[in-house]
Amino acid sequence: MTMHYLANVPSIATERGINFYTPHNHVAVYYPSDGSPSYMAYDFFRDGKASHDKAFFGSFADAMDKAAEWLKRAEPA
């Protein structure tokens, strides 16, 4: 379900990771690097305010699940 949801969210891939944009949030999933051996999901906004929440994961799938969760949570009811 996560990949189906994220496939329909506008995104931009960079060498650092993937940025997902909705009208209500911006979330990024960053790839592991020399300075950080884990995947990182980064939530830029929460309730219309800057959030900067981040979470680290050992797998890409887990990081994408968290990204989808944050994006879905920001959607209006």
User: What does the alpha-carbon distance between residue 30 and residue 63 come to, in Å, rounded to a whole number?
Assistant: 9
Within 10 A of 50 (CB to CB), how many other CB atoms are there? 8
The confidence score (pLDDT) of residue 1 equals 61
As for how many domains the chain has, the answer is 1
DSSP-derived 3-state class of residue 65: helix
Domain that holds residue 57: 2-74
Render pLDDT for 3-61 as a digit per residue (tens, 0 to 9).
788 999 999 999 999 999 999 899 999 999 988 899 999 998 766 667 778 999 999 99
